Amino acid sequence: MARSLGLRLGPWYDGSMKHEIELPADVDRRLAERAAETGHDVEHLIQAAIFEFVDAKASHVSNGQWSDELQSRRSELIDKDIAGAIGESERSELARLDRLANEHFDRVAPPPFEGARRLHERLFKSRARRE
């Protein structure tokens, strides 16, 4: 099914350009289902996916630096999200900051895989004894 989209790309964009995309029937069906689940229209969901894609590409070139300023901005955006007062560009910024925070914390304090492995082994042995 072809969808004609008028995407709002930014304040510099006059909105006159339309894009038509051809989606496979199963993708179009899932997109319509997701729109019904979330209460957003299909155009909004596609726009959010584009924002996420663009931000994901940008985060791959990040230097992984994390700062108090970034954490403060992330906290501010989380508060706005909880209050229901966050805009699309801010939601996209929050997703980018979440990825940067996860990268940073995984680097400075990686998950304790060895401890998790030992716990798994202990639970597995305990289960085997019960059977």
Give the model confidence (pLDDT) of 41-85 as tens digits: 877 777 777 777 776 555 444 566 889 999 999 999 999 999 999
φ/ψ (deg, to 5) at 130? -70, -30
Same domain for 69 and 31: no
Which segments within 6-118 are labelled E, that is strand? Answer: 19-22
Same domain for 57 and 5: yes
CB 28 within 8 A of CB 1: yes
Q: How many domains does the chain have?
A: 2
Same domain for 77 and 55: no
Q: What is the pLDDT of residues 82-114, one digit of tens each?
A: 999 998 889 999 999 999 998 888 888 777 777
As given in the structure block, the two tokens for residue 102 are 């996860």
Fill in the DSSP letter of residue 38.
Answer: H
By residue range, what is the domain housing residue 12?
1-61
Same domain for 80 and 70: yes
Same domain for 117 and 54: no
Which segments within the chain are labelled E, that is strand? Answer: 2-5, 19-22
Residue position matching structure tokens 């993708």 = 27
pTM, two decimals, is 0.44
